C-alpha cells in the first residue's frame, strides 16, 4: 500500500474571504453525519427503500471527496491556487465505490457536483477496452494521462489517508434505484455538502426548524375557523347559504377518515368554499395519524402564496409562538432561489420548515431536476403531506403523466399523502391519452357526493359566462371594459400586454389611481402590497376602478369583482377567473367575459394559447346549442381535445419524457419537464439588497427570504443577450441586478415599456 508523500493535515477547503482553511477530517466527517441523518429522516416512512437508501447515501458521503487527498489537489487548497491540471476530486470516491460494487453510492458520489448524468452517454464511455461508466475520461493538462488513470494509480494512497481518519465502510447489497430515489439520494448528499461548506465560510447560519406538531395546529385551526365564522356573520340569505357550504366542506375534509391504502385524494370543491383551510385540516389530521413530518402547499401562482401564508400563519399559530417564529413555521417560497456556487449557497431555500408554501414551478421542476442546486431541497418532501391546489394550472398537460408517476411513487414508497384540488379539476388519471393503460386508476374524493352536489348547485347560479368574439384594439378594449360595471378585473396572457394596458388606462385614459396592476414584473414584496390594497378597495365596496393583471391572480386569490375579463386561453382558465367574480354570490349580475385583442400597439400574443383558445371557441358553440354555459364538467373533455388536436405534439412529449426517465437520461428529463420553457435567473431589484450583495463582508448579505422578496425572475437568454438594463452580481452568472427603471406600479416593465417606445425589439416576458 502506497503511503502519502506528506504528513500535513489534509484539507477540504482553502482559506477564503476571511474564513480559515477547513480540514478534510472536519468536512468529510460533517458531511457523513448530516447526509446520513437526512437519509434516515427521508426514509423513515419507507419500508421498501429504508435500508438500501440509507446505506447508499452513507457510503457516497463517506467517500465523496476522497480525491481531495491527492497531493495535486492539496497543493491547490493550501495555496488557494487555480486547479491548473483540471484534476477532478470526485473521481476517486466513485472509483472506490465501483470496485466495491456499490453502484448507487458510486452514482450519487459521481453526481454530487455535476448533477445527474445521462446513463446512455455514460454507458458509451470505453477506453483501452475498459468500461468507464461514472469515470472521468478527460485528460489532465500537462500530466500526459487521463483523470481515471491517475485515480487508479493513486487510489490506494487516498484510501490509506482516509482510513487513518475514518473507519472503512463495508459493501452491502445495493439494489438499483428508480430515478426518483436517485434524486432523493443525491439531495441528501448535496444538502449536507453545501450546508457544511456554507457554514464553514460563515455565509449560512444554521437555524433549527420547529416540529410540525400537527395535532396541536389542527386544534388551533378549528378555533380559527370558528372565530372567522363568528366574526363575519352573513348579511343575507345568499351569504348564509355560502357560509353553510363552507362549514360543510370544512367538516367533510376535517372528518374524512382515510383508509390505510388511501394515499391520494381528489377535491373539486368550487371556488369560495374554503379549500385553503379545509384541505389543511385534512392534511394535519393525516399528518398526526401517520406521523408525517411536513406539509407542502403547492400553488400555481406566486400571488396566492402571500394570501395562503398569511392565513396559515394566523390560523396555525400555537400559544407562545411569535410572529417571527411563525415565519419559520410557515415558509413562503415564491420563486427560484437555488444556487450552487460557494458564494451564493447561503441564499438558497431549503424547504426545511414544517409547512412549506411554494409554487408549482418550484415543486414540479424540483421533482424533475438533475442539477445539484435544485435537488438540494428535494429530500425534505419524503414523508410529507402534499396539497396541490388549483391542480388544473399546476403544470402543462403533457407533463402531468410523469409528474403523476413521481407523486404516486412518493405516496406508495415514501409515506407521502396527496390531495389534488381545483374547482375545475380535470380527472386525467383515468382517461385514455394520459397514462399507460396499466397506470390508470380511480382516485377517491375528499368530500362526500352530497356536499359536492350542494356546492355545484350554488356554483351554477353565481356568474354569467359571456364571450366577445371580435378582436379589439387597445382603445376599443378600454371602452369595452370601462362600460361594464365595476369593480373590474381584466387578465392578460403576457406580462407585456398587462403592463401596456395598465399604463394606457392610467396615463392615456387618465384614470390614475383607479387602475391597479399585478404581475410577476413586480417583486413579491410589491405584489403583496398591491394585493393588500386591492382587498381594501374591495372591502370598502369601491365601484369604479380596474385591476389589470396576468394569470398570477387567476386562481386561488380571495378577490371578488363584479365583472371579470379573461384574454382567451382555455376553458379551465376562464372558469378559474369566474372564481374572482361574485365569489360569495354578492352580485346578482356578475359577468365573466372571454375576449381577444389585436396584438398591436404593444400587445403581445402568448404562443402557447392558440390551440386552447380554439377549443374554448368550440366549447362555447356546443354549449350554445344546448342552451347552457360552459362549466367545470366540460374541463376534462376540453383537456382531452387538446391532446387529440395538437398534431401529436403533447402525446409525443409525454412519450419522450417517459422514455427518457426509463432510460435514466436525466438531463433530457429535466429539459423536457421544464414548466417555463426558458431558463430563468434571479434578478435583484431593490437597491439596498444590491448594495449588500456587493459588499465583500458576507455578514451583510441577506437571507434567502429577504432576497426573494426583493427580486424577480427573468429569462436567462434576455440577460445574456444584453437587451435589458441589468448587471451581474458576482462572477458565476447566477445572480443579477436590475439597473433600469422600476416602480411599484409596473415593476420592471416600467423600464421595458420605455425600450418599446424607443423602438427597441419586443420583449416577451415570463
Tens-place pLDDT, residues 202-231: 766 666 788 999 999 999 999 999 998 888
Is residue 218 reached through a cis peptide bond, with omega within 30 degrees of 0 on the bond before it? Answer: no
pLDDT score of 92 more than 90? yes
Write out pLDDT tens, residues 141-154.
889 999 999 999 99
User: Nearest to residue 734, comparing CAs of 372, 350, 367?
Assistant: 372
DSSP-derived 3-state class of residue 679: coil
What mean pLDDT is predicted for residues 277-281?
96
Residue 516 host element (H or E):
strand 515-518
What mean pLDDT is predicted for residues 570-598?
86
Q: What is the pLDDT of residue 334?
A: 63
Contact between 543 and 485 under an 8 Å Cβ cutoff? The reply is yes
DSSP-derived 3-state class of residue 574: helix
Write out pLDDT tens, residues 686-703.
999 999 988 888 778 887
> At which residue does the C-alpha cell 494521462 appear?
145
Strand partners, 11: 23
Write out pLDDT tens, residues 413-470.
999 999 999 877 778 788 777 788 888 889 999 998 888 888 877 766 778 899 999 9
What mean pLDDT is predicted for residues 754-763?
64
Distance from chain centroid for Cα 191: 17
Q: What is the pLDDT of residue 703?
A: 79
Q: What is the pLDDT of residue 468?
A: 94
pLDDT-wise least confident of 134-138, 365-369, 588-592, 705-709 = 705-709
What mean pLDDT is predicted for residues 190-197?
94
Contact between 111 and 667 under an 8 Å Cβ cutoff? The reply is no
Q: What is the pLDDT of residue 398?
A: 87
Is residue 487 reached through a cis peptide bond, with omega within 30 degrees of 0 on the bond before it? Answer: yes
Top-confidence range, 121-135, 439-453, 510-524? 510-524
Q: Which residues contact 654 (CB under 8 A, 6 or more apart)?
A: 398, 401, 402, 434
- For the chain, the farthest-separated pair of C-alpha atoms sits apart, in whole angstroms, at 88
pLDDT-wise least confident of 8-22, 37-51, 380-394, 703-717 = 703-717
CA of 668: how far to CAs of 114, 190, 648, in Å? Answer: 15, 21, 19
CA distance 699 to 721: 33
CA distance 404 to 661: 13
DSSP letter string, 240-270: HHHHHHHHHHHHHHHS----TT--EEEE-PP
Q: What is the pLDDT of residue 460?
A: 66
Q: What is the pLDDT of residue 340?
A: 42
CA distance 1 to 474: 80
Quick one: pLDDT band at residue 50, thresholds 50, 70, 90?
A: very high
Q: What is the pLDDT of residue 25?
A: 97
pLDDT score of 766 more than 80? no
pLDDT score of 4 more than 60? no
Question: What is the grid cell recorded at 524?
Answer: 413579491
Contact between 425 and 266 under an 8 Å Cβ cutoff? The reply is yes
Write out pLDDT tens, residues 628-654.
888 777 877 887 787 777 777 888 999
**For the domain with range 462-646, which CATH number is right: 3.40.1480.10, 3.40.50.720, 3.40.50.300, 3.40.605.10?**
3.40.50.300
Angle at 184 between CA 178 and CA 187, to 5 degrees: 140
CA distance 65 to 90: 6
> At which residue does the C-alpha cell 392578460 appear?
492
DSSP letter string, 695-749: -S-GGGS--HHHHHHTEEEEEHHHHHTT-SSEEESSSSSSEEEE-S--BTTTBTH
Write out pLDDT tens, residues 696-750.
887 788 877 788 889 998 887 777 667 789 998 876 777 899 999 999 999 999 9
> What is the number of other CB atoms lying within 10 angstroms of the CB of residue 700?
11
Mean pLDDT for all residues in the chain: 88
Residue 415: what are its φ and ψ, rounded to 5°? 75, 10
Angle at 657 between CA 568 and CA 572, to 5 degrees: 20
CA distance 682 to 335: 8
- By CB atoms closer than 10 A (0-12, 13-18, 19+), residue 758 is exposed
pLDDT score of 611 more than 80? yes
pLDDT score of 2 more than 60? no
Q: What is the pLDDT of residue 584?
A: 73
Which CATH number is associated with domain 214-457? Answer: 3.40.50.300
Q: What is the pLDDT of residue 723?
A: 75
What mean pLDDT is predicted for residues 579-593?
85
Write out pLDDT tens, residues 143-185.
999 999 999 999 999 999 999 999 999 999 989 999 999 999 9
CA distance 367 to 305: 20
CA distance 204 to 119: 34
Q: Hey, where are the domains in the chain?
A: 11-200, 214-457, 462-646, 678-757
> At which residue does the C-alpha cell 380554439 appear?
614
Q: What is the pLDDT of residue 667?
A: 97
Q: What is the pLDDT of residue 436?
A: 82
Question: What is the grid cell recorded at 510?
Answer: 387618465
Burial code (b: 16+ CB inside 10 Å, e: under 16) for 442-466 equals: ebebbbeeebbebbbebbeebbebe
Quick one: pLDDT band at residue 52, thresholds 50, 70, 90?
A: very high
CA distance 24 to 26: 6
Contact between 111 and 186 under an 8 Å Cβ cutoff? The reply is yes
Length of the chain: 766
Dihedral of CA atoms 258, 260, 262, 267 in degrees, nearest 10, equals 10
Q: What is the pLDDT of residue 435?
A: 81
CA distance 490 to 308: 22
CA distance 720 to 683: 12
User: Nearest to residue 429, comparing CAs of 703, 641, 640?
Assistant: 640
pLDDT score of 345 more than 60? no
Amino acid at each position: 500500500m502506497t503511503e502519502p508523500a506528506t504528513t500535513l493535515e489534509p484539507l477540504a477547503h482553502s482559506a477564503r474571504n476571511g474564513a480559515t482553511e477547513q480540514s478534510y477530517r472536519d468536512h468529510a466527517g460533517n458531511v457523513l453525519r448530516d447526509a446520513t441523518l437526512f437519509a434516515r429522516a427521508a426514509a423513515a416512512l419507507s419500508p421498501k427503500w429504508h435500508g438500501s437508501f440509507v446505506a447508499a447515501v452513507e457510503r457516497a458521503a463517506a467517500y465523496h471527496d476522497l480525491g481531495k487527498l491527492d497531493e495535486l489537489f492539496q497543493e491547490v487548497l493550501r495555496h488557494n491556487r487555480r486547479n491548473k491540471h483540471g484534476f477532478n476530486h470526485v473521481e476517486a470516491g466513485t472509483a472506490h465505490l465501483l470496485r466495491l460494487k456499490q453502484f448507487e453510492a458510486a452514482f450519487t458520489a459521481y453526481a454530487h457536483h455535476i448533477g445527474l448524468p445521462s446513463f446512455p452517454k455514460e454507458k458509451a464511455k470505453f477506453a483501452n477496452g475498459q468500461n468507464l461508466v461514472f469515470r472521468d475520461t478527460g485528460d489532465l493538462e500537462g500530466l500526459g494521462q487521463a483523470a481515471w488513470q491517475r485515480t487508479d494509480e493513486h487510489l490506494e494512497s487516498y484510501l490509506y489517508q482516509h482510513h487513518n481518519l475514518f473507519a472503512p465502510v463495508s459493501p452491502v447489497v445495493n439494489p438499483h434505484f428508480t430515478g426518483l430515489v436517485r434524486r432523493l439520494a443525491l439531495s441528501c448528499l448535496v444538502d449536507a455538502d453545501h450546508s457544511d461548506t456554507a457554514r464553514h465560510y460563515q455565509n449560512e447560519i444554521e437555524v433549527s426548524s420547529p416540529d410540525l406538531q400537527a395535532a396541536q395546529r389542527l386544534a388551533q385551526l378549528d378555533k380559527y375557523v370558528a372565530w372567522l365564522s363568528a366574526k363575519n356573520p352573513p348579511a343575507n340569505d345568499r351569504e348564509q347559504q355560502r357560509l353553510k357550504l363552507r362549514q360543510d366542506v370544512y367538516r367533510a375534509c376535517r372528518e374524512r377518515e382515510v383508509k390505510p391504502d388511501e394515499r391520494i385524494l381528489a377535491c373539486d370543491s368550487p371556488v369560495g368554499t374554503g379549500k385553503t383551510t379545509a384541505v389543511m385540516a385534512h392534511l394535519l389530521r393525516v399528518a398526526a395519524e401517520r406521523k408525517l413530518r411536513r406539509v407542502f402547499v403547492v400553488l400555481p401562482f406566486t400571488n396566492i402564496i402571500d394570501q395562503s401564508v398569511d392565513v396559515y400563519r394566523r390560523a396555525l399559530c400555537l400559544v407562545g409562538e411569535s410572529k417571527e417564529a411563525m415565519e419559520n413555521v410557515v415558509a413562503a417560497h415564491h420563486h427560484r432561489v437555488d444556487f450552487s456556487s460557494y458564494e451564493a449557497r447561503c441564499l438558497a431555500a431549503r424547504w426545511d420548515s414544517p409547512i412549506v408554501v411554494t409554487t408549482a414551478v418550484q415543486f414540479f421542476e424540483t421533482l424533475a431536476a438533475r442539477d445539484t442546486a435544485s435537488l438540494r431541497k428535494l429530500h425534505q418532501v419524503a414523508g410529507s403531506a402534499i396539497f396541490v391546489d388549483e391542480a388544473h394550472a399546476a403544470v402543462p398537460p403533457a407533463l402531468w403523466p410523469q409528474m403523476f408517476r413521481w407523486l404516486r411513487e412518493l405516496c406508495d414508497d415514501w409515506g407521502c399523502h396527496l390531495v389534488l384540488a381545483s374547482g375545475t379539476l380535470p380527472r386525467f388519471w383515468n382517461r385514455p391519452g394520459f397514462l399507460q393503460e396499466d397506470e390508470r386508476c380511480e382516485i377517491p374524493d375528499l368530500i362526500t357526493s352530497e356536499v359536492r352536489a350542494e356546492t355545484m348547485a350554488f356554483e351554477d347560479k353565481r356568474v354569467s359566462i359571456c364571450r366577445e368574439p371580435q378582436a379589439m384594439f387597445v382603445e376599443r378594449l378600454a371602452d369595452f371594459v370601462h362600460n361594464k360595471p365595476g369593480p373590474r378585473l381584466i387578465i392578460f396572457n403576457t406580462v407585456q400586454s398587462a403592463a401596456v394596458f395598465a399604463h394606457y388606462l392610467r396615463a392615456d385614459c387618465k384614470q390614475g389611481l383607479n387602475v391597479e396592476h399585478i404581475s410577476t414584473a413586480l417583486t413579491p414584496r410589491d405584489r403583496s402590497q398591491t394585493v393588500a390594497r386591492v382587498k381594501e378597495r374591495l372591502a370598502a365596496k369601491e365601484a369604479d376602478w380596474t385591476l389589470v393583471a396576468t394569470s398570477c391572480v387567476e386562481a386561488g386569490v380571495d378577490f371578488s369583482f363584479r365583472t371579470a375579463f379573461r384574454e382567451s386561453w382555455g376553458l379551465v382558465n376562464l372558469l378559474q377567473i369566474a372564481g374572482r367574480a361574485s365569489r360569495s354570490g354578492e352580485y346578482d349580475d356578475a359577468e365573466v367575459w372571454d375576449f381577444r385583442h389585436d396584438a398591436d400597439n404593444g400587445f403581445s400574443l402568448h404562443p402557447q394559447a392558440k390551440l386552447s383558445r380554439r377549443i374554448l371557441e368550440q366549447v362555447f358553440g356546443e354549449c350554445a346549442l344546448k342552451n347552457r354555459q360552459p362549466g367545470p364538467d366540460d374541463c376534462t373533455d376540453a383537456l382531452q381535445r387538446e391532446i387529440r388536436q395538437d398534431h401529436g405534439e403533447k402525446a409525443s412529449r409525454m412519450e419522450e419524457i417517459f422514455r427518457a426517465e426509463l432510460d435514466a437520461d436525466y438531463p433530457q428529463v429535466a429539459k423536457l419537464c421544464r414548466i417555463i420553457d426558458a431558463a430563468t435567473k434571479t434578478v435583484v431589484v431593490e437597491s439596498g439588497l444590491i448594495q449588500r450583495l456587493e459588499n465583500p463582508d458576507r455578514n451583510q448579505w441577506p437571507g434567502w427570504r429577504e432576497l426573494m422578496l426583493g427580486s424577480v425572475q427573468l429569462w436567462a437568454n434576455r440577460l445574456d443577450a444584453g437587451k435589458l438594463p441589468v448587471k451581474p452580481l458576482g462572477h458565476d452568472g447566477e445572480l443579477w441586478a436590475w439597473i433600469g427603471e422600476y416602480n411599484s406600479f409596473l415593476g420592471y416593465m416600467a423600464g421595458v415599456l420605455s425600450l418599446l417606445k424607443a423602438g427597441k425589439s419586443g420583449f416577451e416576458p415570463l
